[in-house]
């Protein structure tokens, strides 16, 4: 599923629910940079972690 992620998408980390909602900043070579509500900017190895997409949040501020 990570292969469908693009900047602006909202996601959650399945093993770190306390990080809260995250917004994808970039996807480059399997590395996904996400800015999480409670963890800040984190670079995720997309081959090791399958992020959970959150749909319908495009208008969220």
Q: pLDDT for 1-52, tens place per residue?
A: 798 999 999 999 999 999 999 999 999 999 999 999 999 999 999 999 999 9
Domain boundaries, the chain: 2-54
- Between 5 and 61, residue with greater pLDDT: 5
Provide the 8-state DSSP code for 56. Answer: S
CATH for 2-54 is 2.30.30.30
Residue 45, C-beta contacts closer than 8 angstroms, at least 6 positions apart: 30, 31
pTM of the model: 0.89
Instruction: Quote the tokens at residue 43.
Output: 């670079």
- The answer to whether the beta carbons of residues 30 and 47 sit under 8 Å apart is yes
58 pLDDT exceeds 90? no
Give the pLDDT confidence score for residue 60 in this predicted structure: 54
Residue 31 pLDDT: 98
Measured between alpha carbons, how far is 33 from 56 in angstroms, rounded to an integer? 20
């Amino acid at each position: 599923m990570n292969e469908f992620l693009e900047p602006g998408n909202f996601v959650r980390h399945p093993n770190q629910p306390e990080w809260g909602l995250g917004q994808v900043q970039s996807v480059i070579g399997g590395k996904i940079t996400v800015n999480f509500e409670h963890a800040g900017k984190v670079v995720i190895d997309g081959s090791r972690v399958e992020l959970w997409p959150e749909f319908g949040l495009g208008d969220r501020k």
